[in-house]
Structure 1
């Protein structure tokens, strides 16, 4: 065997051994659980002040990294499903109530008081995800209404919202929509451009900064309950987790990765199951979660290892702390370190 190939083989074996050892060491520590809510919203700007949101009107808030939590239900909204939350810093946050009617609420007092900053009772209105590029500029996406993607934006820290219609070279198809599994299905960039994956009748990637047709994603196609459920963006690297939420154990065509801003997508091996959220740790390391567990890849998504079988809906990587937060069913909030 030639020395070059031997060194390459040894390097690959070393990588696999290191990955296996890391997976064994990594452990999810539960910070809080037992609340009668299915958490899908998770946000933090610094890793210390963290917000979560979910069903039955519940919102959780901590200022000490998760050691202690304050749970609250905004008055008059106790039956709402808050599928997403955005931390704005210093006790300010926005929560997204998805439908009948769709609402956005804001607090500047750590959740003590809330005010309604957006209301929409248009038939068929269903909000899916929200993102902010800073503490002033934000965007929210909803399922198509009247054949148009519903989008609204704010430029004043969520105090006011304006619906808008972007110019694309294609229109949404009948049955093409978006998913509200983890509040991470839209990404707002500096300058107001946004990235958005669709699913249902067709799974495509929309980029508002390019006047071109959306790109077909290498995910399940033509199934109304399947498509992208969570996305993470780090520079030109974009990772998407998805699948069919009615078949959580089915992992084929559930992951997509791009290294060039979404122009082309890498062929990938399947996730171990349906994925609702994904985090990019670095070019090679990714972590995803879903209803059947939490998984890590050290090979840019080509192979995955199971870290935990606990179901989670949302996750968030705090880079400066090298810490991963997770939120899911039964009010469960976890943290993953040593990965």
Structure 2
């Protein structure tokens, strides 16, 4: 959301019935604790993480980005060279087998393509306009990718590439769900897009908290309401994750009232058509990221925000707070380890 640049630089309906059977709700592990080990500090705010080929990649403000070897912790730091590039925050990142893509939040929107083998950097997309603000980006493979952002005309912004980012096409408003005035999205964690096979889901906030879903990699779209809090400039959905084509989770809340946990997280068992609110009694309030923990058959969930980190082993029916230490985003590579990023900090974590 455009105003996130101002509000978050220092960080930066009723439940519906479900139509398909949930994964069996047994706890995968009886209990979980978390060890956090700082691996990097830098004077940047990091809201974008991805992983491929044994490396975590991150990006932040001042044109800075880098890669962290998952096994050794070795770090390579980079910085974009042009003054225009260094003015922007890079809150979206996508890593494929051979390339890494960075997308800026704000005007202008800039996409850089990095060849991993040589570290060569190429500017492949520029979009100008007072309302331009992209929030998240994902790639299915080396050729096909998608990015999502705030409206610039009468619909939300979706751009796609089918040639490895060399060219991008912006979807026409006639091909997208009808726009709700005041609806936008949040560049809080590069997590308001989730992809699985040909599916892509994107989530919104502000005046509405909706899920937009495409079964054909962004050619056609449907939209679904959610019970997540909406109506305020900083309310809505901040992150979404699907573990298959049926089971999804989302989280957000009210950035101005971070303790409120009544209508900020939900789960779907039918591909995002219907959403059920998760437990609020001991669950997290506002969070900027959420994931299904890999290799747990959709049973375990991690939620991350500036107020701490929470774990659920029961698909959100109950929660345990693991730490008060706050982060903006995370990436897991198996059921035990991953990386967290936030303000001036990147840390490795292990679940036990």
So what's the TM-score if we normalise by structure 1? 0.86
Alignment of 1:222-261 (within 5 A): 222-235=231-244, 236-261=246-271
- 1:290 maps to 305
1: distance between equivalents of 2:166 and 2:101? 10
- 1:97 maps to 104
- 2:159 maps to 152
Question: In the TM superposition, what whole-angstrom CA distance separates every residue of 1:49-90 from its partner, at most 9, and x where no partner exists?
Answer: 110011222112123546121122100122210001111234
State the superposition RMSD in angstroms. 2.4
2: distance between equivalents of 1:325 and 1:311? 13
C-alpha distance 308-145 of structure 1, shift in aligned 2 (>3 A): same
Give the deviation of 1:272 after TM superposition: 2.1
Give the deviation of 1:268 after TM superposition: 1.2
- Greater helix share, 1 or 2? 1
So what's the TM-score if we normalise by structure 2? 0.83
- 1:133 maps to 140
Moved more, 155-164 or 294-303: 155-164
Secondary structure of the structure 1 residue equivalent to 2:124: strand
Whether 2:269 is the aligned partner of 1:269: answer no
Whether 2:192 is the aligned partner of 1:181: answer no
Give the deviation of 1:337 after TM superposition: 1.8
- 1:302 maps to 317
Moved more, 303-312 or 55-64: 55-64
- 1:9 maps to none
Alignment of 1:46-57 (within 5 A): 46=53, 48-57=54-63
Could you tell me whether the CA contact under 8 Å between 1:138 and 1:188 is conserved in 2? no
- 1:87 maps to 95
- 2:38 maps to 30
Instruction: Decide which structure has the larger Cα Rg and report it.
Output: 1
2: distance between equivalents of 1:255 and 1:166? 29
Could you tell me whether the CA contact under 8 Å between 1:251 and 1:273 is conserved in 2? yes
- 1:337 maps to 350
Moved more, 295-304 or 156-165: 156-165
Could you tell me whether the CA contact under 8 Å between 1:232 and 1:239 is conserved in 2? yes
Instruction: Count residues with an aligned counterpart.
Output: 317
Give the deviation of 1:233 after TM superposition: 1.1
C-alpha distance 158-300 of structure 1, shift in aligned 2 (>3 A): same
Unaligned runs of 5+ in 2: 1-24
Could you tell me whether the CA contact under 8 Å between 2:155 and 2:176 is conserved in 1? no
- 2:337 maps to 323
Give the deviation of 1:183 after TM superposition: 0.6
Could you tell me whether the CA contact under 8 Å between 1:139 and 1:188 is conserved in 2? no
C-alpha distance 218-111 of structure 1, shift in aligned 2 (>3 A): farther
Question: In the TM superposition, what whole-angstrom CA distance separates every residue of 1:33-64 from its partner, at most 9, and x where no partner exists?
Answer: 2x111100100124x21100112221121235
